[in-house]
Amino acid sequence: MLVLGVESSCDETGLALFDTERGLLTHAVHSQVAMHAEYGGVVPELASRDHIRRVIPLTRRVLDEAGLALSDLDAIAYTQGPGLAGALLVGGGFANALALALGIPAIGVHHLEGHLLSPLLATPRPEFPFVALLVSGGHTQLMRVDGVGRYQLLGETVDDAAGEAFDKTAQLLGLDYPGGPALAKLAEGGEPYRFKLPRPMLNSGDLDFSFSGLKTAVLTLVRKEGEAARVDVAAGFQAAAVDVLAGKSLKALRETGLHTLVVAGGVGANRALRARLDAEAKQRGLAVFYPPLELCTDNGAMIAYAGALRLAHDAPADGRFTVRPRWALGELTAPR
Ligand code: KG4
Ligand code: ZN
């Protein structure tokens, strides 16, 4: 079965072709980062308009790259939520209209389920059950995953998401939006223990996170130490964030008795986090899995893949569709 995946929940237009026999054939992403940069964040209306411009050319591109035609498609999976309403409507409208025209099913996919299952696109691939650390720009959650649609929330952030904390801290350090990757790069040359930064909620006894205090601590530090300390502040922030994310992930594994950790979402691309988790895993006989690096941030491949897994069971759309800008992952159920 050949599935076209369409992602348009935020500021990336992602298209992909996933074949249930042959795996991921091709994927393409257009990032709107440069367009939103001058505003310091995503402007929803501009995002929707840009998705409209990109979605058809990108569909052509993935089909051309795979040497396939629209008539070869068996189904279309699109991000139904959560995300920006207008942006979701573009991908949802496109996917449903095309599916109706081709006489094939369209299926709405939960964006976070896409992230959560994306490590299964890597080789070697993890086996259920596992603990998932979902760290994106909008979410920070630890989840027990027993199968497709069988998710139990173990803990989550009580304020900022991890990616949001990276982005806001980067902004304090004068880096361009979205600052996560830039902050990570700056931190590479820094001394992570020069400044004492808090590890919020590391010993709170539960599996929740908090990042807003860390951001405030950085603000105070930047005011006191000035420009010259930027590199070490960046390194200090990253070390603190990694300590908390790794500490809580290990605690989740201990409490569930599971031995496999899966990391997904944009912050999963962070090298310091990966190095730390790999080292801890090696020492403790655990296994850690990540999506392929280019599939950490938003993309159509994870949507095509999650859609393909669900299509065998769930009822597809009938041409009518809604988007779900706010949609908790816990509301999902296992495929019937
Ligand atoms: O999953 P994602 O692409 O979008 C959401 O669904 O939110 O995640 C984007 C987030 C941004 O906050 C970005 O700064 C962060 O992931 N990010 C990183 C890195 N690459 C992306 N944060 C830290 N280090 C990185 N290397
Ligand atoms: Zn995402």
> For the segment 238-259, what is each residue's pLDDT rounded down to a tens digit?
999 999 999 999 999 999 999 9
Q: Write down the pLDDT at residue 318.
A: 75
Q: Write down the pLDDT at residue 85.
A: 97
Confidence bin at 171 (pLDDT 50/70/90): very high
H/E run at residue 29: strand 23-31
pLDDT of 48 > 90? The answer is yes
Q: Write down the pLDDT at residue 316.
A: 79
Chain-wide mean pLDDT for the chain? Answer: 95
Q: Is the CB of 178 under 6 A from ligand 1?
A: yes
Distance 1 CA to ligand 1 centre (A): 31
Residue of minimum CA distance from atom 26 in ligand 1: 270
Q: Write down the pLDDT at residue 313.
A: 77
DSSP string, 69-84: -GGG--EEEEEEESS-
Q: Catalogue all structural domains in the chain, each as residue range(s) with its CATH number.
A: 2-116+295-331 (3.30.420.40), 126-290 (3.30.420.40)
23-46 as b/e: b if 16+ CB within 10 A:
ebbbbbbbbbeeebeeeeebbbeb
In this predicted structure, which of 24-33, 88-97, 208-217, 310-319 has the lowest mean pLDDT? Answer: 310-319
In this predicted structure, which of 30-44, 100-114, 264-278 has the lowest mean pLDDT? Answer: 30-44
The CA-based dihedral angle spanning residues 156, 158, 163, 165, taken in that order and rounded to the nearest 10 degrees: -150
Q: Please give the share of the chain, as a percent, with pLDDT higher than 90.
A: 90
Confidence bin at 72 (pLDDT 50/70/90): very high
pLDDT of 290 > 80? The answer is yes
Residue of minimum CA distance from atom 8 in ligand 1: 266
> What average pLDDT does the segment 50-71 reach?
98
Report how far residue 108's alpha carbon sits from residue 81's, in angstroms, rounded to the nearest whole number.
Answer: 8
Q: Is the CB of 5 under 6 A from ligand 1?
A: no
Distance 70 CA to ligand 1 centre (A): 32
Per-chain residues with Cβ under 5 A from ion ligand 2: 136, 298
List phi, psi (to 5°) of 259: -120, 5
Q: Is the CB of 14 under 6 A from ligand 1?
A: no
Write out the two tokens for 85: 């309403």
Q: Is the CB of 269 under 6 A from ligand 1?
A: yes
Q: Please give the share of the chain, as a percent, with pLDDT higher than 70.
A: 100
Confidence bin at 100 (pLDDT 50/70/90): very high
